[in-house]
Amino acid sequence: AAVEKGNYRHFMQKEIFEQPTVVAQTLSSYLRREDVSVALPQFDFDLSAIRRLTIVACGTSYYAGLVAKYWFEKFARVPVDIDVASEFRYRDPVLEEGGLALFISQSGETADTLAALRHCKENGQIIAVVVNVPTSSMAREADLLLPTHAGPEIGVASTKAFTCQLAVLAALAAHMAVKKGRLTREEEREVVTHLLEAPAALNEALNHDDDIAAMAPLFSQTRDVLYLGRGQDYPLALEGALKLKEISYIHAEGYASGEMKHGPIALIDDDVPVVVIAPSGPLFEKTVSNMEEVRARGGKVVLISDAAGIKQAGEGCLATIEMPVVHPLIAPLVYAIPVQLLAYHVAVVKGTDVDQPRNLAKSVTVE
C-alpha cells in the first residue's frame, strides 16, 4: 500500500513525529524485557574477538556512525576507524584479517557504501550492516544483519532512519561491551533500562514543536548558521547543519565547539546565528566558554540543553530549547529532534520543497 501523509503537511514532518514509535519498534527487536538484556540476531563469529571496527557510510548515516564511534570506544574499548564511503576505498585502508566492518545505510543501495562493503569483504573483513530496507543489496551481503524498523522513509532528508540507526548502534555497542567483559550484567541492565526510556524522551522532545516553529522566522533571512557540539554531540552539530542545508538551502556548518576558535569564529557577527547542542555534563563548562566567545562578538545563540544547562547558561541567549534529562546513550536520539524540527520549520517558512529538495536524491546509486 502507498504510504500516505495523513494529517501531516509533509512526509518529513510525519516521519519526525513517528520517531517515538519506530524507535520503540526497533529497540523491541534488540532488547529483551524479560531479563533486561541486549539480544542480537543470529550470527556465527565471535564478537568478543573483534579487535578493530571499521565504520563506513554516507550522509546522515555517516553521522550516526560518528556518534556510535564514541560508544564503541567508550563502552566496548574497541578502536574505531570511520570514514565516508567515497573516501574510504580510495585511501587503501589498512584492514587486518578478521576485523569487523560496519556499514550503515537507510536504503542499503548507496553505491559508494556498497562498493566499500565489497572492498572490505574482499579484504577479509566480517560484514555487519545496519539497514532499513531488509531486501536491499547490503542486507543480502551481510554476515550480521541489523535491521532498523523505521518503515519506509519518503522524505529525501533522513530523520527517523537516523534515530533508529542510533538505537541499533547503541544496542550493538552495549552488547559488544558485554561480550568483551567491559560491561557487567548489572551495568547492562542499567543501559537497557535507559534505552527503553528513549521513546518517552523523544515524545517530550517533540512537545517543543510549537516553540521551534515560532523561532523559525528568525532563521529564514540568514545566509549562514553555525552549529556547535562537543564529544558525541559534535556529530549532531554536523547533522543539524546538514539538515538545514538540505531542505532550507541556508548555508550551515557543524563544528566541534573547541575548534571554532581556529576558524569559524571569524564568521561570527549579529547575522550568523549559532546553535549550540550541549546537554549538561562534564563537557558543559567548556562549551559554555565557547558560547561566551560567540556572544562577545555579537553572535546570537540558540542553546539546546536540559533544565540545568539552561539555568546555568541560558541567560542572554536568543532562544533556548529544553530537552529532558537523559542518559548519554540516548541523548543523541533525543537531541536529534529539535535539530530536525528547526530545519523543517525554517524550510516551511522559506517555502522550499521539503520532501523533494532540489538536486538531492533519496538514494544515490551512482558513485
Q: Which residues contact 198 (CB under 8 A, 6 or more apart)?
A: 23, 24, 27, 167, 326, 330, 333, 334
Interaction between residue 139 and ligand G6P (CB under 6 A): no
Binding part of the chain for ligand G6P, among 43-51, 57-65, 230-238, 331-339 by CB under 6 A, reads 57-65
Min dist. Cβ of residue 363 to ligand G6P (A):
5
Work out which of 13, 19, 26, 105 binds ligand G6P, going by CB under 6 A.
105
Catalytic residue check, 362: yes
Binding part of the chain for ligand G6P, among 26-34, 35-43, 52-60, 347-355 by CB under 6 A, reads 52-60
**Pairing relation of β-strands 126-131 and 144-147?**
parallel
Nearest residue (CB) to ligand G6P, 42 versus 359:
359
Interaction between residue 156 and ligand G6P (CB under 6 A): yes
Closest listed residue to residue 270, CA positions, set 302, 300, 246: 300
The per-residue DSSP string of 36-95 comes to TEE-PPP--S-GGG---EEEEE-HHHHHHHHHHHHHIIIII---EEEEEHHHHGGG----
Query: CA 294 to CA 203: how far, in whole Å?
Result: 31
Min dist. Cβ of residue 67 to ligand G6P (A):
14
Computed on alpha carbons and rounded to an integer, the radius of gyration of the chain in Å comes to 20
Are 86 and 112 contacting, i.e. CB atoms less than 8 angstroms apart?
yes
Of residues 328-367, those binding ligand G6P (CB under 6 A): 360, 362-364
Catalytic residue among 5, 74, 286, 362: 362
How many residues line the site for ligand G6P (CB under 6 A)? 16
3 state SS of 229: strand
DSSP-derived letter for residue 41 is: P
Min dist. Cβ of residue 165 to ligand G6P (A):
8
Work out which of 13, 26, 54, 61 binds ligand G6P, going by CB under 6 A.
61
Nearest residue (CB) to ligand G6P, 59 versus 231:
59
Binding site for ligand G6P (CB under 6 A): 58-61, 105-107, 110, 113, 156-158, 360, 362-364
Which residues does the annotation mark as catalytic? 362
